């Protein structure tokens, strides 16, 4: 809403607004883009015009949306296939670009996102470890536990017992 209000106050008509993507008309000039970028920065947002940066944002948004909305799908999707289909590039290219731009591998980013979702699900206390593993596409609860421990240095059970409040907000990951 903040972005939409800001753009409309800048005399731009918003025709499409999604997480990380907006379409406006008329097309802003270079000078207007600079003003929009400065205004968005003041509001805590960033204008991305570089094509590679757009791809990175699309990758992040796709991963975050997929993991956060696991309750809406019957079976966890194959993320490499999902990313390739959505971005229309081969997964190896996406992964290489992500690593170059973000300084971590795409796989590590996915694991970090999954671990944060696991923490959330453990704190909700509605699912057991086996159900969480299945929902997030792990081959077994042992695999989930190993990745969880590698990232948090705690087993899921120890985390749940401690009821640790160590979750990071999405923008900190």
What residues of the chain score a pLDDT lower than 70? Answer: 20, 48, 73, 164-173
* Token pair 């059970």 in the structure block, residue: 157
pLDDT in tens, 100-114: 999 999 999 999 999
3-state secondary structure of 4: helix
Domain ranges of the chain: 2-47, 52-172
User: Of 70, 79, 82, whose CA–CA distance to 134 is shortest?
Assistant: 70
Structural element, H or E, at residue 17: strand 13-18
Q: Which two tokens stand for residue 85?
A: 């289909």
Which ranges in the chain belong to alpha helices (H)?
2-9, 30-42, 51-68, 79-87, 91-102, 106-124, 129-135, 141-152, 156-162
pTM of the predicted protein model: 0.70
H or E segment to which residue 21 belongs = strand 21-25
Closest to 102 in 3D by CA, of 41, 169, 56, 159: 56
Residue 76's pLDDT is 86
pLDDT of the residue at 14: 82
DSSP letter (8 states) at residue 172: G
DSSP for 59-78? HHHHHHHHHHTGGG-SS---
Superfamily of domain 52-172: Homeodomain-like (1.10.10.60)
């Amino acid at each position: 809403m903040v972005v939409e209000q800001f753009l409309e106050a800048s005399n731009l008509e918003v025709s499409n607004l999604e997480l990380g993507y907006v379409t406006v008309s008329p097309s802003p000039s270079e000078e207007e883009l600079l003003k929009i970028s400065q205004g968005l920065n003041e509001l805590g947002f960033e204008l991305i015009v570089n094509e590679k940066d757009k791809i990175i944002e699309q990758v992040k948004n796709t991963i975050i949306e997929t993991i956060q909305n696991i309750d809406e799908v019957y079976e966890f999707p194959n993320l490499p296939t999902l990313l390739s289909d959505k971005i229309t590039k081969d997964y190896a290219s996406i992964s290489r670009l992500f690593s170059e731009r973000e300084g971590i591998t795409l796989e590590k980013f996915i694991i970090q996102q999954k671990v944060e979702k696991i923490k959330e699900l453990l704190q909700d206390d509605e699912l057991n470890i086996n159900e969480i593993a299945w929902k997030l596409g792990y081959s077994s609860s042992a695999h989930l536990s190993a990745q969880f421990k590698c990232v948090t240095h705690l087993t899921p059970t120890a985390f749940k017992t401690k009821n640790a409040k160590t979750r990071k907000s999405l923008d900190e990951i």
